Chains A and B, each alone.
With several copies, the nearest count.
Chain A
């Protein structure tokens, strides 16, 4: 592991990938590892103590999204919650119809699940987005057929940060009596997330994106929504998800939700200012850079910028040596040969997509961090451009 040989400070700018567990959250979790370690299904005091903790967390989470506690189903994370929502509805309503609607810019947890269902015979419409990564509710409306049983459109886009018009899509779904799922993994704690305002029947959230522990998430399931469980076994989570509850994880998720909700107004404002400083700093000092995603309807912590003529991974490696952690939609970091499907859906040319740089801010970031990035990034880009085939 190469260390940060050039680093004068450590600046983590990848909060959309994951966040550190905050101290209050870890403190809330700690008693549940060794002291209050019971299995919530046990009827003895150890079990009842664990049950109480799980129920309290369920209330904290429900309250953060305007739901009832019984509507919260704990899962192992956002990915599993997305799978449960999509497969669960498709399998339970397959006699009603076999058409599903989603978008081209969903997270892989959603996209690959729809692709799997498509292989099994479901028809899937992937609605496009505009150049800002925004979905037009009218495209969703037009995609609806008599066979449509599920619409899944995310809330805050994880790569380019664009906030989708879920309220309008929710209305359309309701009018047509179609189940509506939204992935709110990135928006929770950053912008208001309310299941009634959004008009969703199903909503995915994940703990490790909001300073809670990894390995916990939840699916909101509106009362009366029928979904087929995907993990069967013992009687847990209203029979919708079997498996011994991850009690400390759930407790941590609850506390993280509570804190996120409480601090959101101020913290989001702070992040937005820092982010704008970062975006404007880059756009103003480095030529041939463009902002990806919507300029205003955008998650407060997301900056996604394409640096033309250079490749994203090369920037990331250089930044890493300076102690800066970021991500990219380049093929080299996507694990496939193609750059980010999201940038391509936005019709960004391949070369520009390969040079995308996503910086997602969080609690620890300060103005000094941003200024450090603004100092370090231009010479890196200059150096890489000097060796690039393109641009000069």
Chain B
């Protein structure tokens, strides 16, 4: 069902956990649907210095969570905002069709954490339309 890359991120997820006193928190998903992701970030000099995830969900949900943390870690906030759910799925070399919908929310969670950071710090957010695509 899942390819090797997905299975690798599922079995050996990167950046699991929760950052204490995070600069931003993103929580997406819905327990009814079976997938909930929480992303916590530490921001320094406009870059994502640290990122951790916690996910309740299926293989795809966990793998995309893990992958997105790898993709955005060290990136500027603007760069991170450009990473979409599609980018994540592509970085995982594809997800099964029935998984594209429900489990592929990881980029949304990162965007939300960045938004949360902007709101908390009162910093101006450059491109609102980058938040959710």
Contact = CB atoms under 8 A, between A and B. Distances in A.
Nearest to B16: A387
B98 interface: yes
Interface of B is mostly: mixed
A337 B16 contact: no
Contacts of A231: none
B91 interface: no
Given A43-B1, A354-B34, A389 B59 contact: no
B36 A389 contact: yes
Given A2-B4, A313-B58, A317-B10, A386 B32 contact: no
A314 B59 CA distance: 5
Interface of A: 2, 43, 48, 309-314, 317-318, 321, 330-332, 335, 337-339, 350-351, 354, 386-390
A351 B32 CA distance: 6
B31 A388 contact: no
Interface stretch (B49-57, B76-84, B110-118, B119-127): B49-57
For A312, A318, A321, A337, the residue with the greatest tally of chain B CB atoms inside 10 Å of its CB is A337
Interface in B36-55: 36-38, 53-55
B58 A332 contact: yes
Given A389-B36, A389-B54, A314 B16 contact: no
Contacts of A321: 11
A38 to B, nearest CB: 13
Contacts of B11: 318, 321
Contact of B31 (A337, A338, A351, A386): A351
Contacts of B58: 311-314, 317, 330, 332
Contacts of A318: 11
Contacts, number: 78
Contacts of A311: 34-35, 56-58, 61
Contact of B1 (A48, A310, A330, A339): A48
- 5 smallest CB-CB distances across A and B, nearest first, come from A313-B58, A332-B58, A331-B34, A354-B34, A351-B31
B71 interface: no
Nearest to B11: A321
B102 A337 contact: yes
A331 B30 CA distance: 12
Contacts of A386: 16
B55 A388 contact: yes
B13 interface: yes
B37 to A, nearest CB: 7
For A48, A338, A389, the residue with the greatest tally of chain B CB atoms inside 10 Å of its CB is A389
A390 B1 contact: no
A138 to B, nearest CB: 31
B7 interface: yes
For A310, A313, A318, A350, the residue with the greatest tally of chain B CB atoms inside 10 Å of its CB is A313
19 contacts: A2-B4, A43-B1, A311-B35, A312-B58, A314-B10, A314-B58, A317-B2, A318-B11, A330-B34, A331-B33, A337-B102, A387-B54, A387-B62, A388-B54, A389-B38, A389-B55, A390-B31, A390-B36, A390-B56
A332 B103 contact: yes
B104 to A, nearest CB: 12
